[in-house]
Chains A and B, each alone.
Chain A
Amino acid sequence: MTSPDQINEVLDACDERRNARRAFLRTSGAATLLASTATLAGCFGGDDDNGDGVIVAPPPPTPSPPPPTGVSDADILNFALNLEYLEAQFYAFAAFGTGLPANQLTGTGTQGGVSGGRQVNFTDPLVAQYAREIATDERQHVAFLRTALGTSAVAQPAIDIGSTPTSAFSAAARAAGLIGAGQAFDPYATDENFLLGAFIFEDVGVTAYKGAAPLITSKTFLEAAAGILAAEAYHAGLVRTVLYGKGLQTPSLRANTESISNARDSLDGPTDVDQGVAMIGAASNIVPTDANGLAYSRSTGDVLNIVYLTAAAAGQGGFFPAGVNGAIRMSSAG
């Protein structure tokens, strides 16, 4: 029989890992909702200005850096479209050996090409089936956002999904310590490398959509963005589950997810908003969550830190050698 202590041990183990983000409930222990919506809205608005004796704390559950001022819904959807171009091209090449059709690449800004990318010769037929599913979904996200944005949709910027020693994938893998100086990381070489290449992107998409959700003003587009957020989380959950499962036989896979996670964290600022899949106590870690059991958020600048592969404020780099198209294009400083 399992004792209550055992489940508590599991919970404690998770908490140990996740307690970096416990600030919300600690600092706002008194920030409970009273019966009214007005109180609810006020809870996160500030301190005890109204003199009612209730100290309410401003920090949100997973605080996001302040949004760029004056961003429109179209700016945010175009920002997302850049990321979807990247994901769609990577998966389309890996699954089918061919990229997005030309009529899905046009738009405002400077259109760029795709460097690299080829079909993976999958050995595990299940991984091939997963790749085809995700490739199809990402292509649909591109089509959806382009239709939603209409004539204001940005063109695909230049995208680097190559596998040379100087490619973005190799730079990312080198930052994670997966390869040494001068070596190349080829995400198309094996099932395992493909999964690690996918891992580099997937959780970032989740945090990007979650961070952007509160910035969207249109309720319809908010719900659509929530739908894409969920799709990205399904994808990330799939990739992480497969890496975890294969990691039983090949422990380095689980270790590599931790290394990639740490590399991402080294780029996007001091707060830890990222986790690999390695076991926590006696439990898996398929879901990267904070102590409240919530997924993390990233600001647009922090997302660009990762895809540009830089910790500095920059307008380009990494997977987007000429930067993304649209109004939101600068990564965060520090």
Chain B
Amino acid sequence: MVDPELTMQVLESRERRRNDRRDFFRKAATAAIAAPLMLTMGGKPLNAQTPVTDPDILNFALNLEYLEAQFYLYAVSGTGLPANLLTGTGTQGPVNANGARAVNFTDPVVREYAREIAADEQAHVVFLRQALGASAVSQPTIDIGTDPNGAFSTAARAAGLITAGQSFDPYSTDENFLLGAFIFEDVGVTAYKGAAPLITNKTFLEAAAGLLAVEAYHASLVRTVLYRKGMLTPALLQATEAISNARDSLDGATDLDQGVAPTGVGATLASNIAPLDGNGLAYSRNTGQVLNIVYLTSMARTGGGFFPNGVNGTIRTSQAN
């Protein structure tokens, strides 16, 4: 039979982990809603770039989708997006794909997952480009190569997965591919969540919610597979924590990120597939914080990391942290 105490222990262990973000109701303790809904909560950092338009936000998202689509397409097929999906406003750039190639997957299920995600990300690029029409930004220069000084290696080095001078190759094994995917996926979720309140057009808001959901499904897929493989290879669990901490070191003081390592012990042991705050909500990042991560810098910059020349569009500066 179940001990209610056990339940509470699990809940408490999760809450200890997540209590860094409980300020929603601390700040708004009196924000209970009387019959007409009344909202008093504020203080969510929106962004310095104001005023932003809906096309600005969708173009910001399009840059991120270019990056994700290229990574997954190379991992699945050894080739990237077709040329007719790269054009647009701003300076079009190539893919620095030195070393990027089709992964020789050993687990056929991981290959099936990779194919699915690649198709979804390409569909996102197509969708956003169609929605934006002539105002769609072109693909900026993207680095998904394996050079020791490339973005993947820099990110892995920041997480302590490799040391100085070494390279991280997300195309070499199933596990490295999954960790490469892990670097991106949760960031996409937080980016769409942070941007949702900035979108004024209801149709595009619903579309963005659809993109948000899909990125969360992808992130969950990648995290679930890493968690399962981590039972045999515990280093994978620790790698997700290290990558999460590295992201957190870039995007400011607040902890907006979690790996998949379990909490609790024995009968209270619980996975951590969904990175959520103490209210069970996913985190938000503003556009500047998202750029901190993809530029791999904690400073205000207009390029770096996976986008050596910066993203295209009006939203292009990372946050000074």
On A, residues with C-beta under 8 Å from B are 1-4, 6-7, 10-11, 14, 25, 29, 31-37, 40-41, 44, 60-62, 64, 72-74, 77, 92, 95-98, 119, 125-126, 128-130, 132-134, 136-141, 143-144, 147-152, 206, 209-211, 213-214, 218-224, 226-231, 233-238, 240-242, 244-245, 248, 279-287, 289-297
Contacts and interface: CB of A to CB of B under 8 A. Distances in A.
Interface in B253-296: 262, 264, 268-284
Contacts of A289: 120, 123, 210, 214
A283 B77 contact: no
Interface string B105-128: 000010011011111111110110
B273 A238 contact: yes
B220 interface: yes
Contact of B219 (A97, A149, A234, A293): A234
B33 to A, nearest CB: 5
Contact of B11 (A29, A139, A234, A279): A139
B196 A213 contact: yes
Contact of A44 (B36, B112, B200, B201): B201
Nearest to A97: B2
Contact of B262 (A29, A129, A148, A151): A129
B206 A297 contact: yes
Given A210-B213, A226-B193, A41 B39 contact: no
B187 interface: no
A46 B281 CA distance: 35
B4 A206 contact: no
B206 A236 contact: no
B1 A61 contact: no
Contacts of A220: 39, 41-42, 44, 197
B53 A149 contact: no
B118 A10 contact: yes
B38 to A, nearest CB: 9
A214 B70 CA distance: 31
Contact of B225 (A10, A241, A285, A291): A241
B127 A227 contact: no
B7 interface: yes
Contact of A219 (B32, B197, B271): B197
Contact of B282 (A62, A219, A231): A231
B78 interface: yes
A262 B37 CA distance: 37
B280 A287 contact: no
Given A32-B134, A40-B54, A287 B214 contact: yes
Interface string B212-238: 111011111101110110010000000
A34 B209 contact: no
Contacts of B309: none
B232 to A, nearest CB: 11
A64 B123 contact: no
